[in-house]
Chain A
């Protein structure tokens, strides 16, 4: 019984930590944007946003790693078609990284999730993600 309580408590604390870590959703150009996670990958698909089924991947090179930022999008009623610039990420040392993932037809699907890929030097921690005018603090999503 005691161990169950402890487990439940641990889950609650972990869930709260995730909630705290996730930056609040923001609405940009009629799109509600929520940053979900930051992960590292050796190989990852390069798909536009919203994603198609493009089969080309990026592959990690020696000294680099691929930071993958997952972002959810929801098209709001006031959305108007717009061309959006690529999302950028800023690292803890204030260096800005570009992604090859481009926004294409952002209003074509009501809800979708995109993975923005950043090639960064190994060990780099990302601090913020910028989409158009909005900045999201993603430092809490980085693994320690």
Chain B
């Protein structure tokens, strides 16, 4: 079987993510990738996707039909699932007083997507509040996926500027609504993951209507603009360029995240101990 090296690296979250993997993990990942390619070949033979033809996107019904083919739900946070439903691995314990950087290293990793998004925001001259929002906007996907905008904002709200939290909360809504004026196109990947005939639920549409006239509309919009470009498998990114912005805008609790009695402390503890039975 021929392997498209670039596509394979992209499927793992980029070159930086691959560099941080052990040889065993790389071998596992390659095996899984080849299995996926094989599955795709079988699908093509069934006539669902013809090789060399333009991609055909699934419908909402197609995606719903996949639910009972998985041993986990799609909305489960990534720290709770093994790859392709396999057994999970032991997780590295967090330090006693964990910082945001510790969570980036041990729970959000590889975090390539958010680091790329924030890097681009920095290079295109965005405000520090927006750069911080881009850096944090999808971190909560390690914990939970549905309504990740709201969950993400709640997780970070006690520690970051109000504008950054607003941007994280509502970027989820604005992802469904293109704004060519601001430079945001509806991404083809949404046809892939939600279905080509997907319509956002009513509460998302109502939120969008409200946001359109909000004085801070552009805050979450700028997160979506930078979100769109944060899927480059070859981009080299790290958290180091953001240390100063984190230092200025993230109120790191001296007790450590999870132990400061903040309204979201329990969410940090859950991320820290995903194997806890209760």
Residues of A within 8 A of B (CB): 42-43, 46-48, 52-59, 61, 83, 86, 97-102, 104-105, 117, 119
Contact = CB atoms under 8 A, between A and B. Distances in A.
The 7 closest A-B pairs by CB, nearest first: A100-B183, A52-B232, A57-B188, A58-B185, A54-B232, A56-B187, A53-B234
B5 to A, nearest CB: 12
B127 to A, nearest CB: 14
Interface of B: 6, 10, 54, 120, 123-125, 178, 180-189, 191, 225, 228-235
A52 B234 contact: yes
A139 B16 CA distance: 43
Contacts of B6: 53
Contacts of B231: 54-56
B189 A53 contact: no
Contacts of A99: 183
B54 A42 contact: yes
Residue from A47, A56, A102 with most neighbouring chain B CB atoms (10 Å): A56
A144 B230 CA distance: 37
Contacts of A59: 186, 188, 191
Contacts of A86: 183
A105 B235 CA distance: 13
The A contact surface, by secondary structure, is loop
B229 A56 contact: yes
B120 A104 contact: yes
A15 B10 CA distance: 40
23 contacts: A43-B188, A46-B185, A46-B228, A52-B232, A52-B235, A53-B10, A53-B232, A53-B234, A55-B10, A55-B231, A55-B233, A56-B187, A56-B188, A57-B187, A58-B186, A59-B186, A83-B124, A97-B180, A98-B181, A98-B182, A100-B180, A100-B185, A100-B228
Given A53-B232, A105-B123, A100 B225 contact: yes
Residue from A57, A86, A99 with most neighbouring chain B CB atoms (10 Å): A57
Given A43-B188, A57-B188, A98 B183 contact: yes
B6 to A, nearest CB: 7
Given A100-B180, A102-B183, A53 B233 contact: yes
Nearest to B7: A55
B78 to A, nearest CB: 19
A119 B181 contact: no
A101 B124 CA distance: 12
Contacts of A52: 229, 232, 234-235
B235 to A, nearest CB: 6
Contacts of B120: 48, 102, 104
Given A43-B54, A54-B229, A104-B124, A98 B180 contact: yes
Contact of A104 (B54, B123, B187, B188): B123
B10 to A, nearest CB: 6
A58 B186 CA distance: 7
A79 B178 CA distance: 34
Contacts of A104: 120, 123-124
Contacts of B185: 46, 58, 100, 117, 119
A55 B233 CA distance: 8
A119 B180 contact: yes
A46 B123 contact: no
